Amino acid sequence: MDLAYMAALPKEEFAARRSKLFAQMADNSAAIIFSAREQIRNNDCTYPFRQDSYFWYLTGFNEPDAALLLVKKNQQNLTALFLRPNDPLLETWNGRRLGVENAPNALMSDQAYAIDELTSHFTEMTENTDKLYYAAGVQTWGDALLEKSAVDFSEVFSWRPMLDEMRLFKSQNEIRLMQQAGQISALGHLRAMKETRPNRLEYEIESEILYEFNRFGARFPAYNTIVAGGENACILHYSENNQTLKDGDLVLIDAGCEFAMYAGDITRTFPVNGKFSQPQRDIYQLVLKAQKRAIELLVAGNSIQQANDEVVRIKVEGLVKLGILHGDVDELIAADAHRAFYMHGLGHWLGLDVHDVGSYSNADENGDRNSKKRDRTLEVGMVLTVEPGLYISPKSHAPEQYKGIGVRIEDNVLITEYGNKILTAAAPKEIDDIEALMANR
């Protein structure tokens, strides 16, 4: 009984990931990773369940209240899964469970036990081990269970640096799924362009996007969809999506689906009425020029920082020509003058999480998730977003015709041995292509 838990990836791939983690663990050590739990929405209703990305990465198991225990002792590796046992009554109410008896075969684990037995088996199975790999705070319910354990480890390490580095490099199977996520996300943006017109509400366009995601097999978005008309686009994480789209405004849409647990992440900006005004063209073409140059530079051997430095120069030169910034280009760059109009980074890792894990810095050997550097050398198998933007606040001192214009253009890029591959190219971004598409609605 498999229940199609791993329809998108073969179970052998999850087993291979565990083997790779075992290889990095010290002898006489254990590692434990907990699943997500169902989250209460209100009273006795829950949000749709979404598995913890680390737990999924190692198991492919999509149920709550589970734990994975890896024990490496005397050069022998043992995998044990703890999960909810079968319960006919609860399964009638809340859905099927894999169950303890089916878990070893379905998930390629050596042993399986009921989650209620974790504390006793954990003590027994980790006897004579002195090191534990565990990341506190990822799943607080797991923290509480471990506190009940009588095992005293001499050293405790986080498994995050090891798993973050593993997740940063995508396998061929993962790339296949991310291509699907990118393609479906692009179809959502195409539909949005076709369905947008003056006087529609932002959330109406959001519903069109989500419909398209569902239609092609992606039940959920990878993050909260942004549909920001007019000056709402100058709010980076705008989420209300409840305003009327006005004739003459641009609309910025940041939307991506989650397909088989992997995220797509696209932003497109286009005119509500289907035709760019000249000031809108000025800002849009500047962002597009910067994005194209960044994509040229984002190849193996280069870094995000190199590309962003070029993006900043292109934008500052352009903003000076448009009269939005004033002064010497080099001096403006040194003073971070662009930060008033481009206040975020060029991109981020993409994978099981839309802001995926992994170090961004060559010097950061510990995978500091808060590192501000982006100088890590890009390598084959990495996937990242490329999303330069310009946001001319209505309160800025820019010329009047540019105030309230917000533009971001974002694609997903796979680093390959031959350069890079844009996974989201099906969503048009050239002005002529966008206008032609919208003219034929």
254 catalytic residue (yes or no):
yes
When computed from its CA atoms, the radius of gyration of the chain, rounded to whole angstroms, is 24
Q: Is 79 left (phi over 0), alpha (psi -120 to 50) or beta?
A: beta
408 catalytic residue (yes or no):
yes
Mean pLDDT, rounded, for 4-23: 87
Mean pLDDT computed over every residue of the chain: 95
pLDDT tens profile 168-223: 999 999 999 999 999 999 999 999 999 999 999 999 999 999 999 999 999 999 99
410 catalytic residue (yes or no):
yes
pLDDT tens profile 251-300: 999 999 999 999 999 999 999 999 999 999 999 999 999 999 999 999 99
Residue 431's SS3 state is helix
pLDDT of residue 364: 59
pLDDT of residue 151: 77
Q: What is the pTM of this model?
A: 0.95
121 catalytic residue (yes or no):
no
Mean pLDDT, rounded, for 393-420: 97
pLDDT tens profile 65-79: 999 999 999 889 999
Rounded to the nearest 10 degrees, what angle do helices 172-195 and 202-215 cross at?
140
Catalytic residue among 344, 369, 375, 435: 344
Beta strand ranges found along 231-284 (DSSP E): 250-255, 257-259, 262-263, 266-271
pLDDT band at 5 (very low <50, low <70, confident <90, very high): very low
Catalytic residue among 96, 215, 237, 397: 237
342 catalytic residue (yes or no):
no
Q: What domains can you pick out in the chain, each with its CATH number?
A: 11-165 (3.40.350.10), 169-439 (3.90.230.10)
SS (H, E, C) 317-330: HHHHHCCCCCCCHH
44 catalytic residue (yes or no):
yes
pLDDT tens profile 340-373: 999 999 999 999 999 999 999 987 554 454 456 7
